[in-house]
A and B are shown apart, each in its own frame.
Chain A
Amino acid sequence: GAVVSQHPSRVICKSGTSVKIECRSLDFQATTMFWYRQFPKQSLMLMATSNEGSKATYEQGVEKDKFLINHASLTLSTLTVTSAHPEDSSFYICSASSLAGGASWVDQETQYFGPGTRLLVL
């Protein structure tokens, strides 16, 4: 239970193009989804928090016009990296949490992480 998936698992794109990454909670409704970025040999850094149906809250230093987040349903959030550049190459990881309860396998205070998406911008 409490499975989060991401698609694609890896993507290579040209500089200047946009890339969309999907995050899905497969067996529970995620009231909140989080997007993290992780550079090699470094820790996870929170980029933004999104609640279903409302605008995402971005961390300081994260450009909201560059990293577009949509959380249109309780099982799907998307991160779009617009006009990607080589410095955006990173491992992007989402997590999901649920305050709704209902599913016995979901702890309400736990973030369940996806497998990550490796982005390489050439």
Chain B
Amino acid sequence: GENVGLHLPTLSVQEGDNSIINCAYSNSASDYFIWYKQESGKGPQFIIDIRSNMDKRQGQRVTVLLNKTVKHLSLQIAATQPGDSAVYFCAENMPQGGSEKLVFGKGTKLTVNP
């Protein structure tokens, strides 16, 4: 089923490198997408969002790319730092019976080596 699995995808990078984290979403009707960072034992922290009428959005050191054709999102982190080590989740804002809900992806664990 959705989000089942005991092993998170992992990405290990060297400090200073750029990181790219990918995510596939499920519903072509989803119109809003968010990337969250979650450190161990804490709640998700908003990083950046993008609406479906855009294909790229940049923040400070982060860029989100949206490819609606293949239902794919990516998060690019420039000059990755040890403090960026965390689990990263994408989430899609999915229409559901007149309301909407956030559906989270499986997550990717990013480890930044000094």
Contact = CB atoms under 8 A, between A and B. Distances in A.
Interface of A: 4, 6, 34, 40-46, 49, 57, 91, 93, 95, 109-116, 118
A42 B102 contact: no
Interface centre among A45, A93, A111, A116 (most CB of B within 10 A): A111
A57 B98 CA distance: 13
Given A41-B8, A44-B89, A116 B102 contact: no
Contacts of A44: 44, 89, 104
A42 B3 contact: yes
Interface residues of B, number: 26
Contacts of A93: 43-44
B42 A116 contact: yes
Nearest to A57: B99
Interface string B51-94: 00000000000000000000000000000000000000100010
- A contacts with B: majority SS: strand
Given A109-B32, A116-B43, 10 more contacts: A4-B43, A6-B43, A34-B101, A41-B5, A42-B3, A43-B107, A46-B102, A57-B99, A112-B46, A116-B42
A4 B45 CA distance: 11
Contacts of B46: 110, 112-113
A76 B41 CA distance: 22
